[in-house]
A and B are shown apart, each in its own frame.
Chain A
Amino acid sequence: MKQNLKVLICDDSILIRKKLRSVLEKCKIEEIIEAENGVIAVELAKEHNPDLIFMDIVMPDKDGIEALKDIKAFNSETKVVMASSAGTSDHLKEALANGAFDFIQKPISLESVTLLIEKVLKEESANV
């Protein structure tokens, strides 16, 4: 079973990136990359090919849904989890319709991230 996931955090908030990084470190994730908007996230996703991406929705330059579409277009296997405070039914529907792996509601808790990592690891091992 693959243990070391490569994770990309995309959020325009410095605080959220810091908090999410700390939660991921507690989950023993060693390789963490950060992006502050959708444009940079797409570039970094192409460059590093992460296993999992945490993607905010409301961001300047390129929002999370647009970035999700771009990332899925060049690698449909990448798991993108939308992480937003605005988990409205429209956002959920749009995210899932565009291939999002999951959706977590902010504020982000250690518990929700841990469950998600377990889910990703299970899927990764099933695909090996």
Chain B
Amino acid sequence: MFSQYFGHYLLNRGLITREQLADALEYQKTVHVKFGVIAVDEGFMTTAQVEEVHEKQRQMDKRFGEIAVELGYLTESQVEALISHQKQSHLYLAQALVDREYMTIDEFGAALNEYKKENSLSDEQFEAIRNGNIDALVQQLLVSDEEKAAKYGRYLSLFAKNMIRFIDDQVYLEVSEDNNITPSNWLIKQDIIGAAPLFTGISTDDQTLLYIASIYAEEELTQVDAFAKDAVSEFLNLHNGIYLVNMSNWGTELNMNPQQIIENASISGELFTVNVVTAKGTFQLVLSDDTTNIKIESAAGTQTV
């Protein structure tokens, strides 16, 4: 998942284009991460040393690690560490970007350091994020707003985990500044009620709805019919149910109302909106703890939640 975040960071900084990112993310699935890329990424070797090892590899039939140890650039334990790090997802992105010649290893390394610095990440935090720790990643997403982190952090973290578990392991979340949701094709909403009430909704277009529905229902759906809408609605219900169980374990008993599906709905109020970018389109996760002041307008009329 980190590769999605870091990929979008590179995109937002203008270091790569949207097309290059999409291509690299697709290409990374088939990529074999080379030792040299990891060694530079870990800070064990310089690019010049990697080049030197590559040069020697051309002359002799030996593994990268063996040569690097012989040259005194790596210790045996560093080689072992590199082998275990070979599966980290962001490295696949690094290798994909390098293979496709969108960036050099040096540029990738520099951007990674810049990301760390800009986000004021400690080594431990960065390690946690890099290793796919969702809680750390969501915490980072909400770092600029303590109030929102306190209100929505747990919910969002669980949502990210459930998206990965049930829908799309390459999902990317970004906080939207938008306080109004303009009409999308579908709003699927569910109210959590009790001591800590929460409005929850998924606002989506047809294409993204079909993508989520198809994966969750485990069959290819091509029509936005009652079954497809039900599948997305059931995903929200499942996630909210798990949230209720977690909250119950933390001592807060909550309940929830049945889900509702509203066509062409716009929502206003004190909203916290997160853009959820999937492989086949973006939907918005809409949350609000100010549940009494939410207005939903649709073709069927205005309703106050």
Contacts and interface: CB of A to CB of B under 8 A. Distances in A.
Contacts of A106: 238, 241
A15 B216 contact: yes
A32 B255 CA distance: 29
A14 B259 CA distance: 13
A86 B245 contact: yes
A90 interface: yes
B76 to A, nearest CB: 44
A13 B237 contact: yes
- Among A84, A88, A90, A106, max chain B CB count under 10 A is at A88
A12 interface: yes
- Among B238, B239, B247, B254, max chain A CB count under 10 A is at B238
B204 to A, nearest CB: 17
Nearest to B229: A14
B253 interface: yes
B240 A85 contact: yes
A89 B241 contact: no
A29 interface: no
B234 A16 contact: yes
B179 to A, nearest CB: 29
B231 interface: yes
A14 B226 contact: yes
- Among B166, B237, B253, max chain A CB count under 10 A is at B237
Contacts of A86: 240-241, 244-245, 255-256
Interface size on B, as a range, is 20 to 34
B257 interface: yes
A84 B233 contact: no
Interface in A104-126: 105-107
Contact of B231 (A15, A87, A90): A15
Nearest to B231: A15
Contacts of A89: 248, 253
A59 interface: yes
A105 B231 CA distance: 18
Nearest to B165: A107
Contact of A60 (B230, B234, B241, B258): B258
A60 B247 CA distance: 23
A87 B245 contact: yes
Contacts of A84: 241
A36 B238 CA distance: 17
Nearest to B192: A86
Contact of A85 (B230, B238, B253): B238
Contact of B237 (A60, A85, A90): A85
Contacts of B254: 88
Interface string B210-251: 000000110000000011001101100111111011011000
A58 B237 contact: yes
A87 B234 contact: no
16 contacts: A13-B233, A15-B217, A15-B227, A15-B231, A16-B234, A85-B237, A85-B238, A85-B241, A85-B245, A86-B240, A86-B241, A86-B255, A88-B247, A88-B253, A89-B253, A90-B255
Q: Lowest 5 CB-CB distances: which A-B pairs, in order?
A: A85-B241, A88-B248, A86-B241, A86-B244, A13-B234
Interface of A: 12-16, 58-60, 84-90, 105-107
